[in-house]
Amino acid sequence: MRTRTGIAALWVGLCAVAVTGFLPASAVAERAPAAPPAGLTESLEQAVADGFPGVVAYTRNGERESRVAAGVADTASGERARPDHRFRIASNTKSFVSTVLLQLEGEGRLSLGDSVEKWLPGVVRGNGNDGRTITLRQLLDHTSGIYDPTTEPEFFAPYLELHDRDHLYTPREVVARAVRHAPAFAAPDHGWEYSNTNYLLAGLVIEAVTHRSASAEIRRRILEPLGLKDTSFPLTDPVVRGPHLHGYDLEGQDVTRFSPSYDWTAGAMISTVDDLARFHRALFGGKLLRPAQQRELLTTVQPDGTPVAYGLGVQRMDLPCGSGSDGRPPVGVWLTDGGGPGYTSYSFTTVDGERQLVIALNVYDLGADLKHQAPFPLSKGILKAQTAALCG
């Protein structure tokens, strides 16, 4: 879900205070496992000591890969966390969605300059909202100004107050709630505001263009060609299938069971650290998009007052390395992140493509987030993991 500028930026702020074509599955070389970067295991253990029941991580340096886990996947049974455990990836889903739209543009089936109205006539209308003035690009880079009802406590009342974890929302129902509100700014492209509604509309556009479900298009275009066998896109199923991390709130309540319907193409997917790493290596390595669309993916806008620049479903930032007095410069990274009931995760790829870190932790307190409070334990172990894996 993540309602603001991103999990990674939040970590930095909190801890500082404290077509080339598809890459077929058969063409993805298996790499020999390597020892984890120095300090990585200790950083994950610190995160567990600071309040996360479990944490799993994947790292890559060149062709050398490592996988590390600490803590437990299930506090009730004591099952240990494993790197192959699945988890809800929340807003990491957005990079899959933007990839499909960019592929469609590369095929000449749409343009990112198309209006929302062209593909979804009458859907974005009323209270100052006008789909005729909003482009598909403005959906993907969050400059549309369309309201996000998932920032409202009452939106989640069925789940958090009535304890109906199976409650269903349809994408069009969420969009309808959004356009009951005025836009965040006077006109599209006159500001920046993160809104999950943008990506629900993007999913509806995929369906309007292809006449197939958004989940089927993601599976056909990304999951199957890349061999992402542990990645899925549940529409209404509230259960995480297969071996998985259980997800918790800050009080230790198990919130693994949770309908993904409200999040859909904004954040409903389930994956593993390995699958996310494989996808992002292909994406940032230019294997999934034609050159023109790759440039569009990586063209960013800079929200005021944040260290993160936002592209089309991906983000760009400089990670601090060291104290600044030891001569190590910041490292530029592309990233995606996600935070939703029970799970926090992010995926970093250095700009040169040489290093990756994908990490998943099993706490995210939606109630705290809705109160604008930190939704997970504050642990410097996460920044230490970033340093260990990405700074060298």
Catalytic residue annotation: 91
Q: Which DSSP category does 389 fall into? A: I
Cα separation of 168 and 170, whole Å?
A: 7
Secondary structure (3-state) at 349: strand
Residues forming beta bridges with residue 233, ordered by sequence position: none
Strand 343-350 with 87-88, pairing: unpaired
> Any idea what the Cα angle at residue 353 is, between residues 140 and 363, rounded to 5°?
60
Residue 83, token pair as written in the block: 């790197």
How many C-beta atoms lie closer than 10 Å to residue 220's C-beta?
A: 13
Cα separation of 256 and 248, whole Å?
A: 7
Sheet holding 64-71, edge to edge: 64-71, 54-61, 355-361, 343-350, 331-340, 315-319, 309-310
Cα separation of 314 and 336, whole Å?
A: 5
Rounded CA Rg of the chain: 20
The H-or-E segment that residue 123 falls in is none
- Phi, psi (degrees; rounded to nearest 5) at 71: 80, -160
Residue 303, token pair as written in the block: 């929200």
Cα separation of 285 and 389, whole Å?
A: 19
Q: How far from each other are the two terminal CA atoms of the chain, in whole angstroms?
A: 31
Cα separation of 277 and 283, whole Å?
A: 10
Cα separation of 272 and 276, whole Å?
A: 6
Cα separation of 19 and 328, whole Å?
A: 36
